[in-house]
Amino acid sequence: MKEQEAGLYPLPWRGFGGFIHATTMQKQEEILSEEDKQIQQEFEALVQDYLATNHRKKVELITKAFNFANAAHKGIRRRSGEPYIMHPLAVARIVVNEIGMGSTSISAALLHDVVEDTDYTVEDIENLFGKKIAQIVDGLTKISGGVFGSQASSQAENFRKLILTMSEDVRVILIKIADRLHNMRTLDSMPPAKQYKIAGETEYIYAPLAHRLGLFRIKTELENLSFKYEHPETFKMLEEKLAVDEDNRNRFYQEFSKPIDEKLREMGYKFELKARIKTAYSIWNKMSKHNIPFEEVYDILAMRIIFEPKPDMSEQSQCWMIYSALTSIYRPHPERIRDWVSTPKANGYEALHVTVMGPGGRWVEVQIRSVRMDDIAERGVAAHWKYKTGETDESELDKWLREIKEILKHPEPDAIDFMDTFKLNLFASEIFVFTPKGDIKTIAQGASALDFAFMLHSDIGFHCIGAKVNHKLVPLSHKLDSGDQVEILTSKKQKPQPEWEDYVVTAHAKARLGEWFRRENRRTAARGKQKIAEILAGLNLEMNNTNIVRLLNHYHIVEPQELYLRAGQEALNLDDIPKLFKPKGKNVFTRYLKLFGGGGGQDG
Ligand code: MN
């Protein structure tokens, strides 16, 4: 028997006569081929996913990227024990299925860890796959380290790197989010300390980024997974409560949805009704925010109506028609209507949310969306571009991305400042305000009249003297509320004042003011330097290092730049200079004494 088996494998070790070895090797071969099959299956699933999309069918490119990555990661395993390539494959599937991107991004996702983890370089990738894919892989490699290092400054620097890379090509960040999502889904195999760190980073950086990019579903999952690892006990408790409640919930949903289903059919719509269950994280959020027990969170169950719009009417009107059909069945809550149809959110989200009273007096939120709106809500940016016709206005999302790029063109010299400024905008939610002409504008919550001025135009910001909010005169620092009508007042004579930096919260206004003050300081310093040079010239002295150091010591200033600036601001008494440089022994002697502790003598 053993003879026969071994005979199937005419391998060199047979010569050593070790049949026990033979059996071991054979098992290994079986495992390997089983794994190869698993890898192959996953790749074929990816290709199927891709072929089911509307993208061009560039299967060859994807196959090439897969073969290359597969060979490069050969023999390497993830901590979970599975072959490494299963990770890039999973990331690529998220990229196509959950974000909706095409062959370039899929290939970059397959290759995303090759440069980081193997001996291949970005140049190798460029030679084989071209510049674009190489650039994306390069971006992903640059931000591969954790955002949170051990020191505050390196965290900030990494965060800035992340955002800089993102601004070069938004696909970098989309693939990075897919990468993070898969790592979060498989976080179980990591040691707890690492789980905690990765979960924190996800909650702090990646969930808000996903939110900003309109990847609503992914954002929700990232938050929920972070919560799972940061508060494992609470998470488990809530999951159990949700499971217990499931049968009840299903029965209720059946009863609630039946008349809606009938009514929409009657109206001749093609549609889908979906039950949406709140995640443990979002239930917990609500419980802690309103200080209520699980049983009092009434919107655990929500319903989504996704309809195919009829051709001869705007999607917006059809949302409202469905709204009135719905509210003819169930009574709406008067204060719980959210219209993201007339005014989409800054991240591109569109839908009509209404809360109605269902059977047994239970409040249920219903979200009304067209197929297109649903696609945008689920997949964010990628879907957004898919529907963009070119003639339409720049979307809020495009505006946001443009603003980020603008900020990055003039980055703050201090990375921590930059991070704070940026984070502020990442986390802030928006309010709506109106211009005197009735145009609606979106701006960060907590924004002041001055922020709004800067949003209209930098020059309006620089020359802003005040504003009229709802026809009443207010100061620059006045905080705006949603629905305010805002008119900005300007004067040519006005210019930015130092305290303005405390009045603004938006990254845009902060960046513009920062730039202005830096430019102004440069001018003032140049003036100051000129003044000092003139005084020195009058004393027949040169503007050399020795003389500058003497001035610095005299005024107790460390940096020459600071000296020039303060001279320019007329904050220094420059009449000191001739005295200081008077070539008299007495002066030198006094300084000599001072230098060596002549007055105190404590050094003995
Ligand atoms: Mn990865």
Q: Which domains does the chain have, with CATH numbers?
A: 9-227 (1.10.3210.10), 242-386 (3.30.460.10), 409-513 (3.10.20.30)
Separation of CA 27 and ligand 1 centre (Å)? 30
What's the burial of 411, exposed, middle or buried (CB within 10 Å: 0-12/13-18/19+)?
middle
Separation of CA 490 and ligand 1 centre (Å)? 51
pTM of the model: 0.62
Q: Tell me, yes or no, if 117 is annotated catalytic.
A: yes
Separation of CA 137 and ligand 1 centre (Å)? 11
Of 393, 505, 485, the residue nearest 432 (C-alpha): 485
Percent of the chain with pLDDT over 90: 44
pLDDT at 239 over 90: yes
Mark 338-370 as b/e (b = at least 16 C-beta within 10 Å). Answer: ebbbeebbbbbbbbbbbbbebeeeebbbbbbbb
Structure tokens at 401: 């991305």
Q: Say which of 116, 295, 481, 520 is annotated catalytic.
A: 116
**Which is higher by pLDDT, 275 or 443?**
275
- The DSSP letter of residue 332 is E
Q: Indicate the helix (H) or strand (E) that contains 464.
A: strand 464-469
pLDDT band at 595 (very low <50, low <70, confident <90, very high): low
Separation of CA 550 and ligand 1 centre (Å)? 56
User: What distance lies between CA 429 and its chain's CA centroid?
Assistant: 13
Q: Report whether 323 contacts 354 (CB < 8 A).
A: yes
Distances (CA, A) of 575 to 83, 104, 570, 580: 76, 67, 11, 9
Instruction: Return the SS3 of 260.
Output: helix
Of 598, 417, 443, the residue nearest 515 (C-alpha): 417
pLDDT at 98 over 70: yes
Separation of CA 112 and ligand 1 centre (Å)? 6
Separation of CA 134 and ligand 1 centre (Å)? 16
Q: Say what the pLDDT of residue 88 is.
A: 97
- Provide the residue type at 63 as one letter: T
Q: Say what the pLDDT of residue 266 is.
A: 95
Q: Say what the pLDDT of residue 273 is.
A: 95
pLDDT band at 222 (very low <50, low <70, confident <90, very high): very high
pLDDT at 341 over 70: yes
Q: Say what the pLDDT of residue 129 is.
A: 96
Q: Indicate the helix (H) or strand (E) that contains 472.
A: strand 472-474
pLDDT in tens, 344-354: 876 678 899 99
pLDDT at 19 over 50: no
Q: Say what the pLDDT of residue 7 is.
A: 32
For residues 590 and 585, what is the distance between their CA atoms, to the nearest angstrom? Answer: 9
- Provide the residue type at 218 as one letter: I
Determine the average pLDDT of the residues in 7-30: 44
pLDDT in tens, 379-426: 765 555 555 444 344 455 555 556 555 554 554 444 445 545 555 455
Q: Say which of 117, 168, 378, 417 is annotated catalytic.
A: 117
Q: Report whether 156 contacts 175 (CB < 8 A).
A: no
pLDDT at 429 over 90: no
Separation of CA 422 and ligand 1 centre (Å)? 25
Separation of CA 304 and ligand 1 centre (Å)? 33
Separation of CA 121 and ligand 1 centre (Å)? 16
Separation of CA 15 and ligand 1 centre (Å)? 43
Percent of the chain with pLDDT over 70: 78
The number of C-alpha atoms within 13 Å of 596 and in the hemisphere containing its C-beta is 6
pLDDT in tens, 161-203: 666 666 567 788 889 999 999 999 999 988 888 898 889 888 8
- In whole numbers, what is the pLDDT of the chain averaged over residues? 81
In order, the DSSP letters of 391-453 are: SSPPPHHHHHHHHHHHHHHS--SSHHHHHHHHHHHHH--EEEEE-TT--EEEEETT-BHHHHH
Separation of CA 202 and ligand 1 centre (Å)? 14
Q: Report whether 395 contacts 348 (CB < 8 A).
A: yes
Q: Report whether 266 contacts 336 (CB < 8 A).
A: no
